[in-house]
Amino acid sequence: MRMIPLAATVAFAALAAACGASGQNPTPAAPGTPLETRPANGTGQTPAFPGQTRAPAVTTSVAMAHTVVASGLDHPWGLALLPDGRWLVTERSGKLSIIAADGTKGAAIAGLPAVDARGQGGLLDVVVGPTFASDRMIYWSYAEPRDGGNATSVARGALSADGSRVDNVQVIFRALPIYDGDKHFGSSLAFAPDGKLFVTLGERSDRPMRPQAQDLGSHMGKTIRINADGTVPSDNPFVGQAGALPEIWSLGHRNVQGIAIGADNKVWTVEHGTRGGDEVNLDQRGLNYGWPDVAYGVEYAGGTISAGATQKEGTEQPVYYWDPVIAPGGATLYSGAMFPGWQGNLLVAGLKEKHIARLVIQNDRVVGEERLLTDLGERIRDVAVGPDGAVWAITDEANGKLVRLATR
C-alpha cells in the first residue's frame, strides 16, 4: 500500500488552524498508578483477576499532533481504507462516500439500500472485502427497515471503478427477530485472515429484549460468523444444534460496536455496558459472555443488574472493563511503522469520554492504558491505521470530522 501524504498544497496557516497538540505528554504517573481514578459506579464489585480494570497509565514518549482532514460529515459511523489510500466513510443518515487523504470528499455513492436512521440506527460499518483487487467488493451493515420494525442487516456490492456507485448489491445476512426499536443494532464488521466475515450485534436494549442475548434461537446480542457470500461455515460452533441459529459464533453480548481480528486469528470485541461495565472480550467460538445474567456496573437509573452478579459458572469474564464507562465505538489492532512501541496494542474509540484508548496487551491481558486525541473534544466513533502508521479517526457529531493523528 502506498503512503498517505498530507496535501502539499494546504496553506501553512490553514494547516496550523486545523492541527492541535494532542496532549500526549503529560507528567507520567508513577509506575503502576491506574489511569482511571474516578469512583466506580459498581460500588463493592471485585474484579475477577488483577488488572481486569483500571490498568496502569502509560505514556507515549514521542510528540504527536492531529490534523482535521475533512469536516461537515453527518454523524459518521464506519471507516475503511481502500487500497489506493482513500477512505470509505459511512454517515448514519445513509450516505457512503470516499474521502481522499487531502480531505477531498466525493459525492455519495449510489446504489445502497434504504436505512432506518432513527435513534442509533442507520448506515453503520463498512469494510473492504479480502478479494477487492479482483472483484471490488465492499461490505456494509445497516439498520434495515422491515415490516413490523427493523433489524441489522449486512449487504455487499461491487464498487464501480470511478467510485460513484455499488453494483450487484446483495443482502447477505439479516438478523432476526424483527423488532420495532431504535437502539443497540451493533454493528461492526471484520474479516478474519481465513476470509470469514464477523458481524457484531446488539440485543436491542429494551428490557423485554435483553434475555434474547442468551437465546440461541435469536441473533440478538451475538457475534456472527459467515462466509463472504453469506453462507454458514460448516465449522461454526452451533451448526446442527437443535434450536440454534447456525450463524452464531458467541452469545451473551449487550451492544458490540467494535471488533478487531489479528493475524493470529484472535477476535477482540468491545461492547457498551450500562453505567459501568464497558467490556473488551477475547471473543471465542461457542462461548457465553454473560449479558444480561452477569455484568459490571449498575443500571442507568441506578440499582443492580441481575441482582448484581458479576460472575457466573458457564460465562466468560471480560479481559478488561471500564467503570466509569468510555462508551466504546470501533476498534483496531495497531500495526505500523510510525509508532513502533504500539505494535499489537488495541485502539478503542471512546464516544462519551472523547478519546482513543490505547490498551497495551500482553498474554491476552491489558497491562497499560493511555488516552489519545484528548484535545479534540469530540466523540470518537471509529479508528483505523493508515499505510504509514498514522492513526485515523472519525467523530460522531453533526459536524463530524475525519482526523489524522501522527508524530510531529
- Catalytic residue numbers read 184
CA–CA dist 147, 201 (Å, integer): 20
DSSP label at residue 113 = P
Query: Rounded to 5, what percent of the chain is helix, strand, coil?
Result: 5, 40, 55
CA distance linking residue 342 with residue 338, whole number of Å = 9
> Which residue type does 385 have?
V
| Phi and psi, residue 395, nearest 5° | -115, 135
Using CB atoms within 10 Å of the CB of residue 393, give its burial: 0 to 12 exposed, 13 to 18 middle, 19+ buried. buried
For residue 38, the 8-state DSSP code is S
CB crowding 208-239: b at 16 or more within 10 Å, else e: ebbebbbbbebbbbbbbbbebebebbeebbbe
Which triple of cell numbers denotes residue 393? 479517526
Full 3-state SS string of 154-220 = EEEEEECCCCCEEEEEEEEEECCCCECCCCCCCCCEEECCCCCEEEECCCCCCHHHHHHHHCCCCCC
Task: Give the angle 211-190-400 at the CA atoms, nearest 5°.
Answer: 90
d(CA 130, CA 347): 22
In whole angstroms, give the CA distance from residue 141 to residue 127: 9
